[in-house]
Structure 1
Amino acid sequence: MWKQDTLELRPRKRGFHLITSEVIDFLPELRKLKVGLLHLQLLHTSASLTLNENADPDVRHDMEAFINDRIPGNLPYFRHTLEGDDDMPAHIKASFLGTELTLAVRNGGLATGTWQGIWLGEHRDHGGSRRLMLTLNGE
């Protein structure tokens, strides 16, 4: 079985957001698979995807604080500034963290660790809605 569709994620504030349940709810076919793969591709260059802690929201806060400390905005040598001071740092963060995930599917669900969840990293102050292409295959 193959399925590919695009999930439109609602706009979110800057930071890291747990989106696992949105992805699972969007794919009822996932529950029918014994084995497979789910590939997620974020169709943007100023946001990211990562797999990390799904229980304690302090982890998402701390990740945002850390990445903003390492990749601050409004650096004097940035040339790409027409879309705002937060745009070039957002591109760098997206490149460092990535915009794709491939997850194993097992017995009708995602084969993730106990404390793992899918995060959307919104790296713009006003990034707007985000599109996530989902490709599911398996049997």
Structure 2
Amino acid sequence: MRQTTTELVIATPGQGLHEITRQITRWVSAQGMNTGLLTVFCRHTSASLCIQENAAPEVRDDVVRWLGRMAPESTAYAHDDEGPDDMPAHLKSILTGVSLSIPVMGGRPALGTWQGIYLCEHRRAPHRRSIALHLLGD
């Protein structure tokens, strides 16, 4: 059994679901492990992760709009240190989560045909987000 880690830095252009499947799959493949468990962890409180359909771009748009309804910008929040999209970003991160566990089979993440791994940027402004990867396997 081996384990390895790395960190990806992803530049986001602003709010939205940004697919990072290719970067993650490339790194997993380069580790030379056939089977294992991949943990993907977002090191932020105003961004998150999800696995979602990667075929129809409308899905991403619908998810962003739904999250906006669940945690709208409002002057009712006490926490607004970084602007009106700050507290809603924290709430959206709670809804979607910051960690994923993905089996590795055949040297690749065992995603379904239409599944992609997304960094969910909940802030309007561009950011640089750190994603920690941990692979345990052989």
TM-score norm. by structure 1 comes to: 0.93
CA change 1:13–1:76 in 2 (3 A) is closer
Give how far 1:66 is off: 1.1
8 Å CA contact retained: 1:7, 1:26: no
Q: Which residue of 2 aligns with 1:125?
A: 124
* Residue number in structure 1 paired with 2:99: 100
Give distance in 1, aligned partners of 2:126 and 2:48: 12
- The percentage of counterpart residues that share the same residue type is 37
**Distance in 2, Cα, partners of 1:98 & 1:130:** 15
Match of 1:42 in 2: 42
Provide TM-score, normalisation by structure 2: 0.93
1:12, 1:129 within 8 Å by CA — same for their partners in 2? no
| Unaligned runs of at least 5 residues, structure 2 | none
* Partner of residue 136, structure 2: 137
| Secondary structure, counterpart of 2:127 in structure 1 | coil
Q: Does 1:10 align with 2:11?
A: yes
Give the 4+ runs in structure 1 shifted more than 6 A.
none
How far is the alpha carbon of 1:127 from its aligned partner? Answer: 4.6
- Equivalent residues of 2:48, 2:120 under 8 A apart: yes
Q: How many residues align?
A: 137
Aligned to 1:52: 52
